Amino acid sequence: MGKDQIEEAKELKIEIKKLEPELEKAELEFQILFFQIPNLPLDDVPIGSNETSNKVIKIVGKAEKGLRDYLELAENLDIIDVKRAAKVSGARFGYLKRGLALLEFGLIQLALDILTKEGFIPVVPPVMIKPEMMKAMGYVERGGDEIYYLEKDNLYLIGTAEQALGPLHADETFEEKNLPKRYVAFSTCFRREAGSYGKDTKGILRVHQFDKVEMFSFCLPEKSREEHLFLLKMEEKLMQLLKIPYHMLQICTGDLGDSAAAKYDIEAWMPGQNEYRETHSTSNCTDFQARRLNVRYKTRDGKINFVHTLNGTAFAIGRTLIAIIENYQQKDGTIEVPKILRKYAGIKKIK
């Protein structure tokens, strides 16, 4: 290398060093904009601006009307105590007691029995995750006001086990033959319920802390629509085992979260409230989360692609218990236990 070339190289090195801060700034601006872009809805998702455009696609079971409200029944039986919970923790908390606590454990065991037989791997995940993991899952840019952030520890409390399951394989590459990889997780979940004050403030329907059993799947891109219907089928199976009336919704474009490309909800009929309330949700997030988390798979011919991720509720415990109380109430104020849960809970009736 000649003297002129050496000098030129030195000048280039100095110039590059000067430009590095500009590159870092541009990359940061790109990341900020990139993370604000939601997933693109699939072509068969109903078009609409809000939840009023969600489409009812199935109704199962007879919806009785005019029965007693769950909280009235539960307080008479001393199985839900929101007054003492308020004394201890404030609003939007509750103690589950006696037979209702046994029903929670029964629901968890029922879900595990059904789903492990389908190849789901049982997991108890961390309930606190790093900010970069929560951000990668698509829950910070919009909807971040619902999440509890522990500033001193720089950690988020999860609002669903999905948020801890997606990052489980961050920066990893699956072999194609090992997909789908399915997990079923039990966790306590935390939500601020920001903006919902004055709405469902009594009881345990809309609370800051609740337990949930969640399904999560990593699958091949060409199989994700099929996998989505499989998760929905599992949700229906669990509801039908409990024999609780429900309807199913296909969620419209305007009611999808940032990460979902398609979503179905199941809402249980609650005769004490004379309306359907959401108990289950399942979303196909395509490669939206996988790209942010760098979760990939290697094809049989050696190519590397991003996986698709999906999630689905097995049981949102609190709301499922409400549906059981209201649909299985007896004239004398007792609660019959669904037959499928009796072997798990060890009781036939709450009285």
Active site residues: 191, 206, 278, 281, 319
**How far is 136 from 134, CA to CA, in rounded Å?**
5
Tell me the two tokens of residue 192: 């601020």
Q: What letter represents residue 224's amino acid?
A: S
